[in-house]
Amino acid sequence: MALRMGAADVALNSARWWASVRWGLGTAAAVHAAALRFGGRTAIVDDAGSVDYRTLDRAANSVAAEFRSAATGSDGNLGAIGILCRNHRWFVTALVAAERAGCDTVLLSTALPASNLAEVCERDSIAVIVADREFSDVVAQAGTDATVVSADSSGPNSLAHIAAKGLHCSPPKRRPRLVLLTSGTTGAPKSAMRALTTTRVGGVGMLRRIPYRLGDRYFIASPAFHAWGLSQLVFALATASTVEMRRRFDASDLLQLLREHQFDVLVVVPLMLRRILDVTASDDAARSPRMVLSSGNVLSGDLAGQWMDRFGDALYNIYGSTEAAIGTIADPADLRAAPGTVGRSPDGVTLVILDDEGMPAPKGSSGWVHLASTGQFDGYTDGTDRERTGTLMATGDIGQLDAAGRLHVSGRANDMIVTGGENVFPSSVEEVLDRHPAVEISAVVGTDDPEFGQRVAAFVVLRRGRSVDPDDLKGWVAAKLPSFMVPREVRFVDALPMTTTGKVVRHRLAVLGRRDRY
What digits encode the pLDDT tens for the residues 384-402? Answer: 888 888 889 999 899 999 9
Handedness of CA 428, 493, 186, 194 (dihedral sign): positive
Helix (H, G, I), strand (E, B) or coil at 208: helix
Distance CA 381, CA 391 (A): 20
Say what the pLDDT of residue 420 is: 82
Amino acid identity, residue 398?
I
pLDDT, tens only, 441-452: 999 998 888 878
Distance CA 228, CA 208 (A): 18
Q: Where are the domains of the chain?
A: 10-45+53-196, 204-413, 416-517
Q: Report domain 416-517's class.
A: alpha beta
What is the SS3 string spanning 285-304?
Answer: CCCCCCEEEECCCCCCHHHH
Tell me, what DSSP letter sits at residue 52? E
pLDDT, tens only, 107-121: 999 988 898 999 999
Nearest to 140 by CA among 156, 117, 110: 117
pLDDT, tens only, 463-508: 989 999 999 999 999 999 988 899 999 999 999 988 877 788 887 8
Residue 4 scores a pLDDT above 90: no
> What's the half-sphere exposure (Cβ side, CA atoms, 13 Å) at 295?
26
Alpha helices in 7-158 (DSSP H): 10-23, 27-37, 53-71, 89-101, 114-123, 136-142
State the pLDDT confidence band at 185, using cuts at 50, 70 and 90.
Answer: very low
Distance CA 344, CA 210 (A): 12
**Phi then psi dihedrals of residue 204, to 5 deg:** -65, -40
Q: Which helix (H) or strand (E) holds 448?
A: strand 439-449
The CATH superfamily of 204-413 is: ANL, N-terminal domain (3.40.50.12780)
Q: What is the mean pLDDT of residues 11-31?
A: 95
Q: Which helix (H) or strand (E) holds 305?
A: helix 301-311
**Residues constituting the chain:** 518
User: Are domains 204-413 and 416-517 of this chain identical in fold?
Assistant: no
Handedness of CA 495, 499, 505, 508 (dihedral sign): negative
Residue 3 scores a pLDDT above 70: no
Q: What is the mean pLDDT of residues 72-100?
A: 96
Tell me, what DSSP letter sits at residue 172? P
Q: Report domain 10-45+53-196's class.
A: alpha beta
Q: What is the average pLDDT value for the chain, to the nearest integer?
A: 90
Say what the pLDDT of residue 1 is: 62
Percentage of the chain beyond pLDDT 70 is: 95
Residue 201 scores a pLDDT above 50: no
Query: Model pTM?
Result: 0.88
Handedness of CA 489, 493, 495, 498 (dihedral sign): negative
Say what the pLDDT of residue 183 is: 65
Say what the pLDDT of residue 202 is: 45
Say what the pLDDT of residue 282 is: 72
Say what the pLDDT of residue 415 is: 84
Amino acid identity, residue 312?
G
